[in-house]
């Protein structure tokens, strides 16, 4: 891309101490290969499940290795493990200064934690900052914001693990009343801050609610319980940019091969089908893009994100935003922009470019003693 006149070195962060470790290996190595083929100097840094950081050899490429090969970074010739502090020092000292492409999914990588660490070290990185990332990981927080703005969300209740531990009976009674009000006994029970459908249950009736909450609380201290939208379609919009006008692509559609789009449906090849262009009326397409834009801006997202919808009949509901969506060559996020002429490599390049812009525009004033309000 012309505006990336001098290409910065890129460090792709992949792996990470989350349940989506393996998905991140697929996303991260795809980004690594694409940017390198495009002429970038790219280095892969693998974060293991214990949060140790490993610099893989400068010429490392996936070369068809299974995800499990990344369980043994030393066997890949990795240098490490570095502690977080050592890794940040190394990134901050590198010249020319690199852009960190965060290809991590889920807690730690997508929730503002890594973003805060890189901010503190003064290192440029892709995507949303701390606030956008933290809210983007938090389904309840998104719903509170979107409902407050009058954007359409699926009705929900929140249950804390502490309350569940104290008063199961009251929680179950409240959920009964919630389901009865809707007239459908089925409820979706989810851990608040996770992804890849991990820890989620479609509880078909009262008996299944307790076990569903117990499961959700293995992953988080807050559970979101939603009305089940029977027969809803899974539609997704790609958003790229930081300042308006944002680039909006899609919606594309996922047709889950299971009762809902669970972990197996997401990652078993052939089980679910995707279309980069959903078959919906043009008016609805425009409406959904506007909703995606509003949802993205409302949480303070930057760089890129995927906004997910549930389409129930002809009514679109905002489901969630993913600030680091699946980024594999067959994922919807990086393939929908093809309708605007951006292929996978161009999307990666654009994301790096937006990271540089945001980094250059940050307020990083160093104070002197005379600046203090004494
Ligand atoms: N309230 C709901 N009604 C119907 N289907 C749902 C509902 N909530 C989630 N789903 C299905 O479950 C999938 C995963 O839910 P989601 O909230 O996106 O979790 P994750 O963050 O793990 O991706 C969705 O893509 C959708 O297919
Ligand atoms: Mg989802």
pLDDT at 4: 67
Ligand 1 center from residue 196 Cα (angstroms): 9
CATH code, domain carrying 71: 3.40.50.20
59/265 Cα distance (integer angstroms):
33
Residue 226 CA, closest ligand 1 atom number: 1
CA-only gyration radius of the chain, Å = 21
Residues 323 and 346 occupy one common structural domain: yes
Q: Are residues 79 and 192 in the same domain?
A: no
Q: 265 and 174, same structural domain?
A: no
Whether 274 and 343 map to the same domain: the answer is yes
Residue 37, pLDDT score: 95
Per-position b or e across 186-199, b if 16+ CB within 10 A of its CB: bbbbbbbbbbbbbb
Domain of residue 93, residue span: 10-126
Mutate to test the pocket of ligand 1, among 142, 261, 307 (most ligand atoms within 8 A of CB): 261
Say how many domains are in the chain.
3
- DSSP-assigned beta bridge partners for residue 43: 11
Taking CA atoms, 194 is separated from 16, 65, 144, 217, 282, in Å, by: 14, 27, 17, 11, 32
| Ligand 1 site, residue 110, Cβ cutoff 6 A | no
Give the span between the Cα atoms of 330 and 84, in whole angstroms: 32
Q: First and final CA of the chain: distance in angstroms?
A: 48
* Structural domain contains residue 312: yes
CATH code (residue 313): 3.30.470.20
Tokens of 13: 């962060």
The last residue of one of the domains, among 178, 193, 227, is 227
| pLDDT in 10s for each residue of the chain, 374 residues | 445 667 899 999 999 998 889 999 999 999 999 999 999 999 999 999 999 999 999 999 999 999 999 999 999 999 999 999 999 999 999 999 999 999 999 999 999 999 999 999 999 999 999 999 999 999 999 999 999 999 999 999 999 999 999 999 999 999 999 999 999 999 999 999 987 788 999 999 999 999 999 999 999 999 999 999 999 999 999 999 999 999 999 999 998 877 777 777 777 777 778 999 999 999 999 999 999 999 999 999 999 999 999 999 999 999 999 999 999 988 999 999 999 999 999 999 999 999 999 999 988 667 888 888 88
- The response to whether residue 220 sits with its C-beta less than 6 Å from ligand 1 reads no
Q: Which of 197, 256, 321 is the best mutation target for the ligand 1 pocket, counting ligand atoms within 8 Å of the beta carbon and taking the most?
A: 197
Which of 79, 111, 126 is a domain's end point?
126
Query: Does one domain contain both 281 and 341?
Result: yes
What are residue 10's phi and psi, to 5 degrees?
-120, 135
Q: Is the CB of 280 under 6 A from ligand 1?
A: no
DSSP secondary structure string, 185-230?
Answer: --EEEEESS--TTTT-EEE-SGGGHHHHHHHHTTT-SEEEEEE--T
Q: Is 239 domain-assigned?
A: yes
Q: Which of 200, 222, 228, 265 most suits a substitution to test ligand 1, by most atoms within 8 Å of the C-beta?
A: 200
- Based on the fold, state whether residues 103 and 164 are members of the same structural domain: no
- Whether residues 195 and 235 fall in one domain: no
Q: Which of 126, 147, 175 is where one domain is finished?
A: 126
- 166 lies in the same domain as 275: no
CA distance 47 to 17: 7
pLDDT at res. 7: 86
Is 150 within the bounds of a domain? no
């Amino acid at each position: 891309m012309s505006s990336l006149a001098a290409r910065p070195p890129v460090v792709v962060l992949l792996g990470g101490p989350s349940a989506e470790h393996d998905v991140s290996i697929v996303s991260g190595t795809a980004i690594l290969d694409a940017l390198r083929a495009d002429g970038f100097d790219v280095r892969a840094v693998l974060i293991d499940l214990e949060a140790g950081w490993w610099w893989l050899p400068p010429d490392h490429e996936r070369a068809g290795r299974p995800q499990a090969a990344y369980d043994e970074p030393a066997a890949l010739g990795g240098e490490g493990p570095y502690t977080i502090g050592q890794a940040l020092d190394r990134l901050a000292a590198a010249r020319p200064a690199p852009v960190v492409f965060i290809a991590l999914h889920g807690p730690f990588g997508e929730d503002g934690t890594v973003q805060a660490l890189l901010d503190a070290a003064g290192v440029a990185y892709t995507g949303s900052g701390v606030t956008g990332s933290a809210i983007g990981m938090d389904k309840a927080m998104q719903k509170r914001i979107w409902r407050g703005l009058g954007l359409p969300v699926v009705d929900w209740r929140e249950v804390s693990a502490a309350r569940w531990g104290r008063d199961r009976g009251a929680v179950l009674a409240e959920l009964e009343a919630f389901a009865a009000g809707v007239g459908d006994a089925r409820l979706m029970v989810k851990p608040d801050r996770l992804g890849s459908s991990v820890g989620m249950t479609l509880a078909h009736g009262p008996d299944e609610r307790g076990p569903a909450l117990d499961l959700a609380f293995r992953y988080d201290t807050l559970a979101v319980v939603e009305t089940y939208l029977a027969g809803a379609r899974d539609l997704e919009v790609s958003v790229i940019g930081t300042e308006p006008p944002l680039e909006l692509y899609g919606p594309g559609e996922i047709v889950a091969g299971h009762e809902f789009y669970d972990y197996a449906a997401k990652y078993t090849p052939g089980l679910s089908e995707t279309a980069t262009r959903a078959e919906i009326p043009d008016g609805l397409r425009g409406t959904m893009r506007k909703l995606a834009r509003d949802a993205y801006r409302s949480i303070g997202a930057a760089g890129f994100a995927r906004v997910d919808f549930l389409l129930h009949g002809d009514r679109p509901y905002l489901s969630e935003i993913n600030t680091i969506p699946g980024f594999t060559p067959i994922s919807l996020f990086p393939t929908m922009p093809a309708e605007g002429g951006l292929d996978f490599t161009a999307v990666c390049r654009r994301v790096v470019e937006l990271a540089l812009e945001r980094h250059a525009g940050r307020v990083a004033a160093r104070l002197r003693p005379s600046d203090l309000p004494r």
